[in-house]
Amino acid sequence: MPESPPLALQPPSAELSAKIANTIRFLSADGVQKANSGHPGLPMGSAEIATVLMTRFLRIDPKDDKWLNRDRFVLSAGHASMLLYSMLYLQGFLTLEDLKNFRQLDSRTPGHPEHGDTPGVEATTGPLGAGFAMAAGMALAERMLAEAYNTPKFDIVDHYTYVLMGDGCHMEGVTNEAASLAGHLKLGRLIAIYDDNGISIEGNTDLAFTENVGMRYEALGWQVQDIDGHDCEAIARAIENAQAETSRPSLIVAHTTIGKGAPHKQGTHGVHGEPLGAEELAAAKAGMGWPAEDFHVPQDVLDYFDVRRGEWMAIRNEWNDLFAAYEKKHRSTARELLRVASGELPKQWKKACPEYAPGKAIATRVSGGEIMNKLGGVIPELAGGSADLAPSTKTEIKTGQYPDFVAPGAFLGRNIHFGVREHAMGWMTDGMALHGGFIPFCATFMVFHDYMRPSVRLAALMRLRSIFVYTHDSIYVGEDGPTHEPIEHLASLRAIPRVQVWRPCDANEAIYAWQSAIERKDGPTCLAMTRQNLMTLDREKYAPARDALKGMYVIDPEGEKTAEILIVATGSEVHLALAVADALRGQGRGVRVVSAPCLEAFKLQAEGYRKKVFPKRLKKRLVIEAGVEQGWEGTLGESGLFVGMDDFGYSGPAAKVAGKCGFAVPAILEKIAQAAW
């Protein structure tokens, strides 16, 4: 029994390789021309790169696009989507009709590749550099799974991650962050191919970009090769060299001509982001001896890929046989690998959660870390790290299997030192989620979500199971001052569709916030945790903490029958709301208090429940949250009051900062009195 499937792929002849490249080149140009929209330049220039990857290296199977050990290919230059779609057509994922519907409503070939909408697309790309950073996350996930599950005779996980980049990818800072970490970790199975065509939308790249990219990557710990990107044999040799280099990731700088074949536009910015035009396209086809008909595919190219798909299936079947033998020898380990790859959770996992006795004061970042560790003890696929902040965010897993930190060339661990790289950290977390086999998390202070918004947004677009832990969630950061006090960040996160933002009010609500994050499969979760201690509420007096799973719930039932004022609060401000309610009741007022740990979860509840929490008769509504008002307008109604932030905070002890910002019972009572409620 071989240790892993051999790369038994028969390369086409030089003549057929050239024909396949031209098929990709003109399918891409035809698709853009028919849509009258798109980017033909890079696809036409990278056709040989795509040809070599598909015909000599990629191990995939279009009949099983979820195969665990498939190679991953990510198009970081997502604007060149017709290149990927032409590849997916030849591979068997798409039809010719799909290519003809490029950029049309409801087609499987949208303007930029979208994971989940188009079979075979490994990641949604478009923001330049993001695909590269996600690919680094995929490569890290592959190595971590390989270390955890491979045995000396069974290399069950041993695939490569390929990524195609453009000039713009290297200009974006996220690539430097991700490349730095990938080089540090020695991710030898990450192979990046740089389509270096020297052209951007505004003109030659030397207008703004004159650095030596290869030298930069060498300094970051990468193997770097410099080749002619139109020479199939040179491309193949470079990829073979990259595969042979196991201790460093590889960058192949492939010099190409953008829009290759277009007689008047190749090598110019005029072919970057607009159709060739009918005359130029016709001239390009004539100049390269290509039939004039649209979407032409030679029969021998079709025949070749019919055989190629059989080779791919044979490789997967050989891997299936290898896994069957592995399963016989390592039954429990194989069963666990299948489970984590499927995304299913172990049985009875919720029983691992702790319980917190009332009266104990504990910050939710601390209780959240304890909860995460209890869950990590029974969920080995829970893995991640922080941006050099684990002692502050409390997000180091110290329990269960593989509690160590991942280190350069040593991947048997679940904790990752991302370093001060929030931008890359978010994208690599998404890459791990895309790869599968993990429930990945990352952590930083909430104010630094500003560095991560793009990765959270794309996690939502792709419906990824990424978990973003944000601690130090408000002005109660105090002494660090307004640079570190998040004011608009809760509203900013809630504005992203498909994101669930949880802000628990005590340790027991934090349990259910973590449970929801672990369980959720249709989008990312953000956990907003306090720096300051919060008293654990007595749940015999107040509603059960499990009601938090409904998103909003009546936490204090006292005075329900006489309630005339409804107070809503999140996180640490729930305690202030309860104190305000007690003061109002001392004045003879009836008050209902609602804890709102997750607005998005509340919107998913039945209408009857939502009306029960917010009956129309209670029009006097007060919302307390240490953030901006945006997003609360619907809850407040026409006559509601908002106690929050309309400017930045201050530097000083947390309690004094809060008092100056109006987060105190007397100040809120005065505001209610001024409203003449």
| CATH topology for the 349-535 domain | Rossmann fold (3.40.50)
Residue 472 is given by DSSP the state S
Instruction: Spell out a b/e string for 29-52, using b for 16 or more CB atoms within 10 Å of the CB, else e.
Output: bbbbbbbeebbbbbbbbbbbbbbb
Q: Are strands 361-362 and 534-535 parallel, antiparallel or unpaired?
A: antiparallel
Q: Residues, the chain, total?
A: 677
Contact predicate 440/466, CB 8 Å: yes
How far apart are alpha carbons 34 and 103 in whole angstroms?
10
Contact between 365 and 394 under an 8 Å Cβ cutoff? The reply is yes
CA 173 to chain centre: 17
Secondary structure (3-state) at 304: helix
pLDDT score at 560: 74
Rounded CA gap, 29 and 43, in Å?
A: 8
Gap between the Cα atoms of 650 and 385, Å rounded:
30
Q: CATH for 14-316?
A: 3.40.50.970
Positive or negative, the CA dihedral 31, 33, 38, 39 is positive
- The position carrying tokens 């025949």 is 303
Kindly list the domain boundaries of the chain, sorted by start residue.
14-316, 349-535, 547-674
Encoding tokens for residue 297? 């595919």
Beta strand 500-502 with 534-535 is unpaired
Among 587, 576, 582, residue whose Cα is nearest residue 558: 582
Residue 9 is predicted with a pLDDT of: 67
Segment 204-230, tens digit of pLDDT: 999 999 999 999 999 999 999 999 999
Contact partners, residue 5, CB within 8 Å, separation at least 6? 59, 315, 316, 318, 319, 322
Q: Which residues contact 213 (CB under 8 A, 6 or more apart)?
A: 170, 194, 196, 251, 253
Side-chain-side CA neighbours of residue 522 (13 Å): 4
Residues whose CB falls within 8 Å of the CB of residue 543, separated by 6 or more in sequence, listed in order: 553, 554, 555, 556, 557, 595
CB 569 within 8 Å of CB 576: yes
Rounded CA-CA distance 61/363 in Å is 49
Tell me the C-alpha distance between 417 and 403, whole Å. 13
Beta bridge partners of 162: 73, 191
From the candidates 396, 422, 573, 625, give the one annotated as an active-site residue.
422
The answer to whether the beta carbons of residues 72 and 138 sit under 8 Å apart is: yes
**By the 8 A CB rule, do 586 and 610 touch?**
no
The pTM assigned to this predicted structure is 0.97
DSSP-assigned beta bridge partners for residue 620: 565
Element (H, E) at 250: strand 250-255
Answer whether CATH 3.40.50.920 is correct for domain 547-674.
yes
The per-residue DSSP string of 93-158 comes to SS-HHHHHTTT-TT-SS-SS--TTTSTT--S---STTHHHHHHHHHHHHHHHHHHHH-BTTB----
Angstrom distances, CA of residue 287 to CA of 21, 50, 87, 290, 299: 15, 21, 23, 8, 21
Residue 432: its H or E element: helix 422-435
List of E strands, 552-660:
553-556, 565-569, 591-595, 620-624, 641-643
- Sheet architecture: strand order including 223-228: 72-75, 161-165, 190-196, 250-255, 223-228
Q: Say if 14-316 and 547-674 have the same CATH topology.
A: yes
Structure confidence by residue, pLDDT tens digits, 66-82: 999 999 999 999 999 99
Contact yes or no for 571/515 (Cβ under 8 A)? no
pLDDT at position 558 is 80
pLDDT value for 6: 45
Q: Could you please report the per-residue DSSP string of 141-203?
A: HHHHHHHHH-BTTB------EEEEE-HHHHHSHHHHHHHHHHHHHT-TTEEEEEEE--EETTE
- 3-state SS class at 6: coil
CA distance 11 to 212: 33
Residue numbers of the chain with a pLDDT score lower than 70: 1-9
Predicted local distance difference test score (pLDDT) of residue 7: 45
Contact 19, 298 (CB under 8 A): yes
In sequence order, what are the beta bridge partners of 534? Answer: 362
Distance of CA 634 to the CA centre of its chain: 30
CA angle 68, 69, 75 (to 5 degrees): 95
Taking a C-beta distance cutoff of 8 angstroms, is the pair 449, 456 a contact? yes
pLDDT at 5 (0 to 100): 41
The rounded distance, in Å, linking the Cα atoms of 311 and 308 is 5
pLDDT value, residue 562: 85
The pLDDT value given to residue 2: 39
Residue 162 corresponds to which tokens in the numbers above?
């390929």
What are the tokens at 556? 């204090």
**What is the SS3 assignment for 12-28?**
CCHHHHHHHHHHHHHHH
Question: What confidence score (pLDDT) does residue 638 get?
Answer: 86
Give residue 340's pLDDT. 98
Which of the 8 DSSP states describes residue 345? P
pLDDT of residue 206: 96
SS3 per-residue string spanning 610-638:
HHHHCCCCCCEEEEECCCCCCCCHHHHCC
- Cβ proximity of 37 and 101 under 8 Å: no
> How many other CB atoms are found less than 10 A from the CB of residue 216?
17
629 is a catalytic site residue: no
